[in-house]
Chains A and B, each alone.
Chain A
């Protein structure tokens, strides 16, 4: 995964082992009084080493920052193993929320004044057309207003549209559109019985704040339009009429399959006739016919339309024709062939979603209602799981060793230098040393056990040794506790030019320090660093790029005792609960340099 910025640590969500994303380790997480641990699955899991290259693993490797945490299952939850619920719809441009019922009735687009450019999809701005040189300028812009694209310079003037007000654009546009449709129909009456497809009403269907009003104000509502919706309505009416007529004629005709069914008065009277034995004159069933006139929904396609389009196409330069994407974005069935007919697109609404654990339905994240992007609830794995960071053990005298990464320390020049050296290629057969820092976000002391396969899976076979695989990490106590409690030590360190709590790799004399097996390299308030030795293996001649990237899978098991308070009973507040968690994570180290290059 060469595209990832080094260093990276990915956590493997336990849902990787299940085809249905239900956690298998759930039972162990709640390592508690009511349930004895059923360790079989976990042991299986432990014995089988994790291969970060397996296609399956790729689905579950997630940076810690992206993971949520289920406080009931005591487990991380990735995007695969959470349930999402749409909480509300909102417009990304004006942030107004739209209730689901409105979305159902009016469509999933903003009905206020938010539109996107039909050419390039940028959000349109609404600008007054007034001269800034004007001396006696009123306080508020008076207009007329136009919609403009700040990117490609499309404007509503391209459609010849000027707006009277800068607000409620949707209603104004709908009115203009209906007016134009009516105009086209009038033209159609004069010129020919059939006319090219006018702008569709579907376009304004979702922007129908006052569709009805617009409909009422359209000049000649009695006019037979050829637009899609009205044609459909007329056709449906016609066929319904046909069904009724033909079923009245035939006794058990299609009426029984029609919507009228047995309960219609005509059907009942016919049934009565059958039972009373009255012979009615049997009329010959009238066969259903097709629509014959425009009032019945008939729309004859005229070849002239095609010829018109074709001649138009042959004379229009290529850039003036619409692209498939542009047509697809157009509202309703309006798919104009030329860019001059493109209509602005109402902004699509988005959803705010709350997230629940798939296993126990606990709420993991819930967005804040009202117009903002904040969260009301969000339990991040970041605050519940140790954070592992790999950095090269610096050999320069200026830089320091690994740091807890809970603070904003990653931006320091020393770390940038380390990152640079981390992206340097790894050489086959050479021993590279790294510091693996485990930072603890919990308020309990962690005892950590790390495990990694001695050689990485695959053909390269890089040897990896964690010199001190078992250690403890201090609790994430108040920063001030450390600052005040460790005064003398910190002061002495500060005198030598090092910030307190930093592992002092580069100090004089300490440079020759050798990493010892079984000993922690450095530790601080809530973090501990251990040394990892890496000896890159031989790259095969035909090695792929992916094989050259060195990733180390590490199995992390943590144990800690925590207050059981607040979970089940207040009585058990004093009782300590022992918890155990385990997971795989993958550390991205760098690229092995090919010896054949």
Chain B
């Protein structure tokens, strides 16, 4: 920018068009979703984002190796990465023909810095900051993975499980046995979504 000739030659609006931008992934985004303009959606496989989902700035959805589906009312925080990895070249790839996919259920919270590989996460789960869910894992409903927790590749986590400590698990009896607590959680989540909808300027047009 110190060179005056260069700045005069290319206006900022033109320069962005000159940049080799990454190809847009095929997206199916509900108009009621909130996606910040600095959210990254990349890849070649379809990305589906349901209503009332909130993608924070700098969240990354990468469908390079398989499709990604984000359920209704999900919140994905900044620096979280969601997207399946390439299928391993071992024997299993021969049997599985479909590409690995990532599916988030309803009202899932993906916190800052979380890595979600090609796995399925059930409704109402909370994945706390910097946790990691491995490829092929199946996380049930109303589960919680605490900060820096890890669900290894291909692991199965039952409904209402809290993954905490060094691979410890316990059943969240409060959620399991008390329907009113589940309702309460849903209400709190909805309020949170509404709050973010008011705070984050949405830019869905960028992706459709």
Distance, CA A130 to CA B181, complexed state (A): 10
A-B residue pairs in contact (CB < 8 Å), sample of 18: A119-B170, A129-B184, A130-B184, A131-B184, A131-B187, A132-B188, A133-B190, A151-B146, A153-B144, A153-B170, A153-B175, A155-B181, A157-B173, A157-B178, A158-B174, A319-B169, A339-B170, A340-B173
Q: What distance in Å separates the Cβ of A12 from its nearest Cβ neighbour in chain B?
A: 39
Q: Which residues of A contact B201 (CB under 8 A)?
A: none
Range, interface on chain B: 20 to 34
Distance, CA A319 to CA B158, complexed state (A): 14
Number of A-B residue pairs having CB atoms within 8 Å of each other in the complex: 48
Q: What distance in Å separates the Cβ of A250 from its nearest Cβ neighbour in chain B?
A: 60
Q: Which residues of B contact A158 (CB under 8 A)?
A: 173-174
The one of B172, B180, B183, B188 in contact with A153, judged by C-beta atoms closer than 8 angstroms, is B172
Q: Which residues of A contact B144 (CB under 8 A)?
A: 153
B180 touches A129 (CB 8 A): yes
Q: What distance in Å separates the Cβ of A116 from its nearest Cβ neighbour in chain B?
A: 15
Interface on A for B, CB 8 Å cutoff? 119-120, 129-133, 146, 148, 151-155, 157-158, 319-320, 339-340
Q: A120-B165, A132-B191, A157-B177 given; name 7 further pairs at CB < 8 Å.
A: A129-B184, A131-B187, A146-B174, A151-B146, A153-B162, A320-B171, A340-B173
Q: What distance in Å separates the Cβ of A408 from its nearest Cβ neighbour in chain B?
A: 30
The residue in chain B whose Cβ has the minimal distance to the Cβ of A131 is B187
The one of A120, A132, A133, A320 in contact with B164, judged by C-beta atoms closer than 8 angstroms, is A120
Q: Which residues of B contact A339 (CB under 8 A)?
A: 170
Distance, CA A131 to CA B162, complexed state (A): 23
B169 touches A155 (CB 8 A): no
Q: Which residues of A contact B180 (CB under 8 A)?
A: 129
Contact with A along B150-189 (1 / 0, CB 8 A): 0000000000001011001111111101101101100110
Distance, CA A157 to CA B174, complexed state (A): 6
The residue in chain B whose Cβ has the minimal distance to the Cβ of A128 is B184
The residue in chain A whose Cβ has the minimal distance to the Cβ of B173 is A158
The residue in chain B whose Cβ has the minimal distance to the Cβ of A160 is B177
Top 8 A-B pairs, shortest CB-CB distance? A155-B174, A153-B172, A157-B174, A158-B173, A153-B162, A133-B187, A132-B191, A152-B164
Q: Which residues of B contact A129 (CB under 8 A)?
A: 180-181, 184
Q: Which residues of B contact A340 (CB under 8 A)?
A: 173
Chain B residues numbered 119-136 whose CB sits less than 8 Å from any CB in chain A: none
Q: What distance in Å separates the Cβ of A135 from its nearest Cβ neighbour in chain B?
A: 12
The residue in chain A whose Cβ has the minimal distance to the Cβ of B169 is A319
Q: What distance in Å separates the Cβ of A504 from its nearest Cβ neighbour in chain B?
A: 30
Q: Which residues of B contact A120 (CB under 8 A)?
A: 164-165
B191 touches A157 (CB 8 A): no
A132 touches B178 (CB 8 A): no
Q: Which residues of B contact A119 (CB under 8 A)?
A: 170
Q: Which residues of A contact B173 (CB under 8 A)?
A: 157-158, 340
Distance, CA A440 to CA B184, complexed state (A): 61
Q: Which residues of A contact B175 (CB under 8 A)?
A: 153
Q: What distance in Å separates the Cβ of A463 from its nearest Cβ neighbour in chain B?
A: 46
A151-B146, A319-B169, A319-B170 known; A157 vs B181 contact (CB < 8 Å): yes
